[in-house]
Amino acid sequence: MKAGLVLLLALPFTWCVRTPFLTAGTVEEGSVDKWIKPWFCHDTDCPKYKVLNTTSTYEVRKYAPGKWVSTDCLETHFTDAQYAGFYRLYKYISGKNTAKAKIPMATPVLSYVTPGSTPTALSNITLSFFLPSMYQDVDPPAPTTAGIYIEELPEMTVYVTAFGGWAKDASVDANVKTLEAAMDAEGAQ
DSSP string for residues in 51-116 = EEEE-SS-EEEEEPPEEEEEEEEEESSHHHHHHHHHHHHHHHHTT-BTT-------S-EEEEEE--
Quick: pLDDT tens for 130-164.
999 999 999 999 999 999 999 999 999 988 887 77
Query: So what's the pLDDT on residue 31?
Result: 54
Mean pLDDT of the chain: 81
In what side-by-side order are the strands of the sheet with 148-153? 5-8, 109-114, 123-130, 66-75, 148-153
Provide the 10 A C-beta neighbour count for residue 18: 20
> How far is Cα 23 from Cα 140, in angstroms, rounded to an integer?
30
Lowest mean pLDDT among 18-27, 91-100, 105-114: 18-27
Lowest mean pLDDT among 10-19, 37-46, 53-62, 136-145: 10-19
pLDDT at 105: 94
Answer with the residue of higher pLDDT: 165 or 183: 183
* Cβ atoms of residues 125 and 112 within 8 Å: yes
Whole-model pTM?
0.78
Mean pLDDT score, 114-122 = 85
Paired sense of beta strands 5-8 and 109-114, if any: antiparallel
φ, ψ (nearest 5 deg) of residue 113:
-105, 120
**Looking at residue 143, what is its pLDDT?**
98
Q: Give me the pLDDT at residue 23, please.
A: 30
Q: Which amino acid is at 144?
A: T
> What's residue 65's pLDDT?
95
Q: Cα 75 from chain centroid?
A: 18
Average pLDDT over residues 171-180: 82
pLDDT of residue 12: 35
The pLDDT-based confidence of 32 (bands split at 50, 70, 90) is low
